Amino acid sequence: MAFYVYILASRQHGTLYTGVTKDLARRVHEHRGKTNKGFTDRYNVTRLVYYEVFDTPHTAIAREKRLKRWPRSWKIQAIEILNPDWRDLYGDLNR
């Protein structure tokens, strides 16, 4: 089973949200559908711009905690290394 750490954005260089899940497609779908009222709903943070895959929940949660402590500039740099156009990666998940 895979576990994911992900970053959503409202737009390029917009509001960012970092999360962890075992089902990335389902979780992003929930954010996009505004199923859970909260930060991502309030700030329209729905574009999947970055994610990493881990083998265990422990390593994924540890990574999420590290990313959440990163300065915003580091998160933007990580996104732009792997996804320089800030393309919404959600459509790639079910391929």
pLDDT at 58: 98
Instruction: Name the strand (E) or helix (H) holding 24.
Output: helix 24-32
CA distances from 61 to 15, 55, 66 (A): 21, 11, 9
CATH code of the domain in which 72 resides? 3.40.1440.10
Question: 52: domain range?
Answer: 3-92
Tokens encoding 68: 């959440």
Sheet of strand 16-21, all strands in order from the earlier edge strand to the far edge: 16-21, 3-9, 47-54
**Tens-place pLDDT, residues 71-90:** 999 999 999 999 999 999 99
What is residue 95's predicted lDDT score, i.e. its pLDDT?
Answer: 59
pLDDT, tens only, 14-54:
999 999 999 999 999 999 987 778 899 899 999 999 999 99
Q: Flag whether pLDDT at 4 surpasses 90.
A: yes
User: Which pTM value belongs to this model?
Assistant: 0.94
Number of domains the chain is built from: 1
